[in-house]
Amino acid sequence: MKKYALSIVLCLIVLSFFTFSQEHYDNYNIKIPEFTSPPKIDGKIENPIWERGAVLDTFTQYEPQEGARPSERTLVYIGYDKKSIYIAVRCFDSNTKGIRACLTKRDSASGDDEVTIYLDTFNDKKRAFVFQVNPCGIQTDGIYTETRRRGRGRGFFGFDRSWDTFYLSDAQIDETGYTIEVAIPFKSLRFPNTSSQTWGLQIMRTIRRKNEEIYWHPRSRDINGFLVQSGTLRIDGTIERGKNFEIMPVLTGLKQSDKKTEPEAGINLKYGITSDLTADITYNPDFSQIEADMPQIEVNQRYALYYAEKRPFFLEGKDLFDTPLELAYTRKIVDPQWGVKLTGKTGKTSIGFLSVYDHNPPEITLQSSSDEDEDDEEEQEGDNPYNALVNIFRLKRDLFPESHIGLIVTDKEMGYSWNSLSNNYNRVAGFDGHFKFMNYYRFSFQVLGSQSKVENEKTGFIPAMYFSLGRTARHLNFSASWTSLPSDFEATSGFFRRKDIQSLRTRLSYTLLPQNDMIISIRPSIEYNRIFDFDNTLTDEEFQFSCFINGWKQSHLWATISSEMERYEGIDFHRNSFRANFSSEPFSWFSGNVSYSFGDAIYYDENPYLGYKTSLGFRVTLKPLTNLRLFYNIRNDDFYKEKGGKREYKVNIISQRINYQISRPLSLRLITDYNDYSGNLYISTLISYEYRPGTVFYFGIDDNQEKDDAGIFRREGRYYFIKFSYWWRT
């Protein structure tokens, strides 16, 4: 089987050399002029120097009607000087009262009208810096990666908003629409260390009330890929490149109500070795999370829950370490004492290296049964005296604009002290690749091997594999993937909900495109999945029929019917279920989501049985004022011994987020989370002053309370938190 799989990999690599093709549009290649002086960034586009810039005005609809003329006109002006690239956008609008815009925190302007700029600075059609501005001048930035992992809460098409950098922006709403001005310093970007620059460029404007997306370079569903559908900009003059130095001292203080204040000082350093290679160093880093994780239901869960990384040090270049099998899950680095990181791209080769010294890490295990709950591993955090040195090394080599091969090595050395780190280790090495061929098809693979040692016990070389093939086109789409993870494969720096599996997942869908004001697309799909363990026992089998409808007022309706077999504690359970989800943004002040599911469910216990479960979820965002946002999330799970029978348990989780933006940098926030199953109540208040990314001041108070047998909430702990950091760079 392994030889056959490797033969498929080699054949498809060779095939991709002969069948690769790239779409090309000569009309969307521009040379931008150099400005003699920088324009003032106030959002008004009054400086006559903008008239000297390159002008882009040929926008095309993608939604609701692909290829149609936009309902509103858009003009873009672009220029540069030695320090920055400058972009101004005039967004005409025939109904200025209908413009959706709010004053909110950075990276939080969801649901607004916006202009989005994609800069593919290496022009490799794989990765782009993203800069987004709403009509109030609120910034959102991030990284778009063509082949990034889409699951685990990352949504549908979009980009990773966890990356932050410094740039200037402002906007104004006037009688003809709104205007936006942006200045992006070259120091905030990574690009080739060459005398002239050719970058991929795409600009998108979103008009929410009309469900309209328009692009400067036309976007088509007939083309598999997003960045390949970009134009290019060329810079021939001298620009500021590389060797910039950044320093960010951080001071934090934490005080528990009955204890002394615990001040901590740390420092973060960043050095641009060249314009395309960056080194990061951190000592005694502050990894406190300002944004709390959204609560998840933990009752009767067979496998570990996934929480996204939010800590700044790990977010720089995070996409480089992504592979089909997740080997770099940095939330398992618990209490880092120091860390170093090198990320960048030289020519066609991307490089990533991460090394962190961690206190109190989760332990290394030598074997995991197919039914082991990986929550047990999470519970080890904070309960052992170990230290660990975690190292991750990554190389990626471009083959074509949308194809690459890669190498990844992870190493976790663990012991009671620095001198005893080699007593225990887990080492994983492997290679992977992604190939686009015949325009619509993509093939990905990853082959790994792990070896571990705990005290005097050592494993052999344990292999794991992943292969996938998919087709994405206007109408017919399909995907198939194969995963092989033995029970004794250990990747302690990664995330795997389950091992001892040989999994086949397949999906076939067909997209209908009415493309009118009510319905843009309808996508029915069929899935078939099955899993065998390494004893060749069928443990899971699933048939699923789904339908996804995209349409009016950013509305999305998804529904699925499934029939499954799941083996647990040696018993085959057969269950049927129905799930549905509806979301919409009908008004500028209201957006919401409701989900509902019901059907057979397993009660995971020493004596499991097949019961009946219903789940209801409700999310709503209210914006009664331009600068006030209220978010509510309600989740309910009811489990019954049988349909219409006795209820085994009930879980209600109610979450509230209230944000009041006093000014662009200053805001107030209140979080309330209540779980009636555990009786826990969490209340958090925070005052934030965010002058720019890295230059911030926070003061917060957290309360943890628990309901006693009499129904009275008793305080379990109160914490006062303060943080100040300043980002300085040359």
Same domain, 58 and 182: yes
Domain containing residue 39? 32-235
Q: What is the pLDDT of residue 151?
A: 42
Residues in the chain: 730
pLDDT of residue 719: 87
Does residue 464 lie in a domain region? yes
Number of domains in the chain: 2
Tell whether 47 and 178 lie within a shared domain.
yes
Q: What is the mean pLDDT of residues 338-348?
A: 92
- The span from the CA of 683 to the CA of 705, in Å, is 8
Beta bridge partners, 432, equal 406, 446
534 — pLDDT class (breaks 50, 70, 90): very high
- Domain boundary among the residues 407, 440, 472 is at 472
Average pLDDT over residues 516-544: 95
Spell out the residues 6+ positions from residue 566 whose beta carbon is closer than 8 angstroms to its own: 539, 540, 572, 573, 575, 602
Report the pLDDT value the prediction gives residue 64, as an integer from 0 to 100. Answer: 93
Tell me the DSSP string of 613-668: EEEEEEEEEEEEETTEEEEEEEEEEEEESSTTS-EEEEEEEEEEEEEEESSSSEEE
- Residue 596 maps to a domain: no
Residue 663 domain-assigned? no
* In a domain? residue 506: no
**Residue 50 and residue 94 in one domain:** yes
* Shared domain check, 325 and 193: no
- Of the candidates 106, 76, 508, 556, the one whose C-alpha atom is nearest the C-alpha of residue 290 is 106
**pLDDT given for residue 476 in this prediction:** 96
CA torsion angle 32 35 39 44 (round to 10): -40
Has residue 436 been placed in a domain?
Answer: yes
Q: Is 280 found in the same domain as 223?
A: no
> How high is the pLDDT of residue 287?
57
The pLDDT of residue 178 is 98
What DSSP letter does each residue of 504-539 carry, written as one string? EEEEEEE-B---SSSEEEEEEEEEEEEEE-TT--EE
pLDDT at 641: 94
pLDDT reading at 1 higher than 50 = no
Mean pLDDT of 172-176: 96
The more confidently predicted of residues 55 and 310 is: 55
pLDDT at 314: 82
Centre a 10 Å sphere on the Cβ of residue 700 and count the other Cβ atoms it contains: 18
Q: What is the pLDDT of residue 373?
A: 43
Q: Give the pLDDT band (50/70/90) at residue 714.
A: confident
**273 and 231 both lie in a single domain:** no
Q: What is the pLDDT of residue 69?
A: 96
Task: Give yes or no: residues 274 and 170 share one domain.
Answer: no
Are 220 and 368 in the same domain?
no
Render pLDDT for 251-294 as a digit per residue (tens, 0 to 9): 988 888 778 887 889 898 989 888 888 899 998 876 555 555 55
Instruction: Kindly state whether residue 333 falls inside one of the protein's structural domains.
Output: yes
633-678 pLDDT tens trace: 999 999 999 998 999 999 999 999 999 999 999 999 999 999 999 8
**What confidence tens digit (pLDDT) does each residue in 140-156 have?**
999 999 876 544 433 33
Q: How far is CA 633 from CA 34, 620, 674, in A?
A: 49, 7, 11
Q: What is the pTM of this model?
A: 0.88
Structure tokens at 645: 């029978």
Q: Is 612 strand, coil or helix?
A: strand
Question: Which CATH number goes with the domain that contains 125?
Answer: 2.60.40.1190
For residue 505, the model assigns a pLDDT of 97
pLDDT interval class at 114 (50, 70, 90): very high
Determine the pLDDT at residue 383.
55
Average of per-residue pLDDT across 334-355: 92
Q: Are strands 29-31 and 231-235 parallel, antiparallel or unpaired?
A: parallel
Rg of the chain over Cα atoms, rounded to whole angstroms, equals 26
| Largest CA-CA distance found in the chain, in angstroms, rounded | 77
pLDDT in tens, 481-522: 999 999 999 999 998 888 999 999 999 999 999 998 899 999
Residue 687 has a pLDDT of 94
- pLDDT mean over 311-324: 83
Residue 223 and residue 364 share a domain: no
- Clarify whether residues 268 and 126 are in a common domain: no
pLDDT at 471: 95
How does the average pLDDT of the chain come out, rounded?
88
Q: Is the pLDDT of residue 478 over 60?
A: yes
Considering the domain architecture, whether residues 226 and 280 belong to the same structural domain is answered as: no
- Supply the pLDDT for residue 362: 86
Per-residue model confidence as pLDDT tens digits over 576-600: 999 999 999 999 999 999 999 999 9
* Confidence (pLDDT) at 242: 63
Q: Tell me which of 321-325, 405-409, 610-614 is least confident.
A: 321-325
Comparing 492 with 312, the larger pLDDT belongs to 492
Q: Using alpha carbons, list the distances in angstroms from residue 291 to 163, 295, 592, 669, 684.
A: 15, 12, 21, 10, 10
Q: What is the DSSP string of 206-262?
A: EEGGGTEEEESS---TTSS-SGGG-EEEEE-S----S--EEEEEEEEEEEETTS--E
Dist. CA 56–CA 222, nearest whole Å: 24
Average pLDDT over residues 318-334: 89
If you average pLDDT over residues 438-451, what whole number do you get?
Answer: 95
pLDDT tens, residue by residue, 552-571: 888 999 999 999 999 999 99
Task: With respect to residue 488, please indicate whether it lies within any of the assigned structural domains.
Answer: no
Q: Is 215 domain-assigned?
A: yes
The DSSP secondary structure of 401-413, one letter per residue, reads TTEEEEEEEEEEE
b (16+ CB within 10 A) / e for 325-359? bbbbbbbbbbebeebbbbbbbeeeebbbbbebbbe
Q: From the CB of residue 48, how many other CB atoms can be counted at a distance below 10 Å?
A: 8
- Pick the residue with more confidence: 456 or 410? 410
Instruction: Tell the residue number behind the tokens 């899950």, with chain if given.
Output: 329
Residues 277 and 188 in one domain: no
Percent of the chain with pLDDT over 70: 89
Q: What is the pLDDT of residue 612?
A: 97
